[in-house]
Structure 1
Amino acid sequence: MRDRKLWIGAFVTVLTGFVALVFQGGWEWVQGKLSDPPGLTAYSSGLIGCNPRYLDAPLAELHKQIKTIDHRGVHIPTADDWPSLPVTLQTSTPQAIVVTGVKVSVLSTRPLPEHGSVVDAECGGGMDERPFDVDLTADPVSVKPSVERTGQGKVIQGHDFPFKVASGDPEQFTFNIRNVAQDARFAITFSWVSDGEPGSTRLDNDGHGYRVMNLPKNLPRYSKGEVGRGKPAS
């Protein structure tokens, strides 16, 4: 009987230690999960801009598609008009994330198309932004804060990274695609740090990349009014 009590006591002691060890490890795991740095969420609705667009269709087809033409086509940067990619950064917790930099990667390039049409866009209004100029012809791709000049000749240099982002303090960035050599697709990756832990967030349009191209030299070019009429102005 005494041996049985000793055996039960030893078993309870071992079991208690095991449970304590498991609980401690589990709590450390829970604490680790709770203390993991919050991720950075990046959202973009896609390229926008008052710039020409390439469409893989002749004028007769474009006339039939006039109601949807403003939401289609490949953006073409020119000296006066260039496409922009607006990106909103935010996080779901009050804990601030420091966004330390951004990298633009060219995913693919190919020759300019030899068939289709170029249509000029109609301009709209502007918005507040953190503007950056992107040069896809540079290697590596150049991403620099935009320089603005006022009517009085004053030069305003845009702010560069880092930026602080929190749930109540999101940031709006705009990447102006000013230079592109061919028909290209690109992605944007943000680097950030939260609670001493580094991370990165990538925008690549669901793996398709964001597509832009240089102005094709030998394709017909129409205004929006000409597309609406279905024939070039005489």
Structure 2
Amino acid sequence: MPVTVQADPYAWESPCSQRYLADKPASGMRPPPLEEGAAAWVAAHDAVSSGQQYLRLTVQGTGAETVVVDGLTVRVAGKRAPLAWNDYAMAYPGVGCGGGVQTRAFAVSLDSARPSLAPEPGNDDFPFKVSESDPEVYYITASVSAYDVDWYLELKWSSGDRSGTLTVDDEGRPFRTSGNKGRPAYEFPIGGDGWVPEGTTKLD
């Protein structure tokens, strides 16, 4: 395989963008993590990305030859009613939230009958070229409101007279993203010692 893909399914577009659903009461939840601790926090709570999931894909060639990334296809492995779990916001109330515009950014609605990636405004679409010395990073925002969706990506590549498809998932498991409408929502105040219903924190 002349190309590799490293998927980070627990990247955050900004400190305020990410939420997770968990089948646990607020009293049983740890404080929200920093982004680098998100994967461990999710695993500890059996949590699921809520409302949207932000993926960072690092695509790199394995040799000196140029590999053309022809496209990414969204594949749905399962679709159910959204999870009836509690919704936890990762942001601390009152903390500023910033986000940058990425040059390889795409969006997909998992509510669609046939979800497909579309470049964010101002971004180019496939194909792109990569090599061992010239990797690319793609950012994907997958949104959903009406379902609990298992999904993965297929990356199509070509290099010279060779071509193929590479499955991109969460270490052998599908990505999972669930709608969160109407779910009890919680936030963790700065200086607080536990989760409280979202919107009840008074800012100084």
**Bucket of the pairwise TM-score, normalised by the shorter protein:** 0.7 to 0.9
1:98 and 1:165 in contact (8 A); partners too: yes
Give 5+ residue unaligned stretches, structure 1. Answer: 1-37, 148-155
State, as a whole percentage, how many aligned pairs show the same letter: 24
1:117 paired to 2:78: no
Structure having the higher Rg: 1
User: Stretches of 4+ moved more than 6 A in 1?
Assistant: none
Structure showing the higher strand proportion among its residues: 2
Structure 1 pair 97–220 and aligned structure 2 pair: CA distance change class (3 A): same
**How far does residue 138 in structure 1 lie from its aligned partner after superposition?**
1.9
Question: Partner residue of 2:94?
Answer: none
Counterpart CA distance in 1 for 2:81 and 2:144 is 15
Question: Would you say the 8 A contact 1:180–1:212 is kept in 2?
Answer: no
CA contact (8 A) 2:144 2:177 kept: no
Task: Point out the structure with the larger helix share.
Answer: 1
User: Corresponding residue for 1:223?
Assistant: 187
Listed as ranges, the gaps of 5+ residues in structure 2 are 92-96
Q: Distance in 2 between matches of 1:67 and 1:166?
A: 37
1:69-108 paired onto structure 2 within 5 Å: 70=38, 71-72=41-42, 73-77=47-51, 82-108=52-78
TM-score normalised to the size of structure 1?
Answer: 0.69
Taking structure 2 as the reference length, the TM-score comes to 0.78
Backbone CA RMSD of aligned residues: 2.4
CA contact (8 A) 2:21 2:88 kept: yes
Shift of 1:51: 2.5
Indicate conservation of the 8 Å contact 2:145/2:180, yes or no.
Answer: no
C-alpha contact 1:86 1:172 (8 A) present in aligned 2: yes
Letter in 1 for 2:132: S
Q: Does residue 40 of the first structure (1) align with residue 3 of the second (2)?
A: yes
Change in Cα spacing, 1:196 to 1:180, as seen in structure 2 (3 Å) is farther
Q: How does 1:153-164 map to 2 (within 5 A)?
A: 156=122, 158-164=123-129
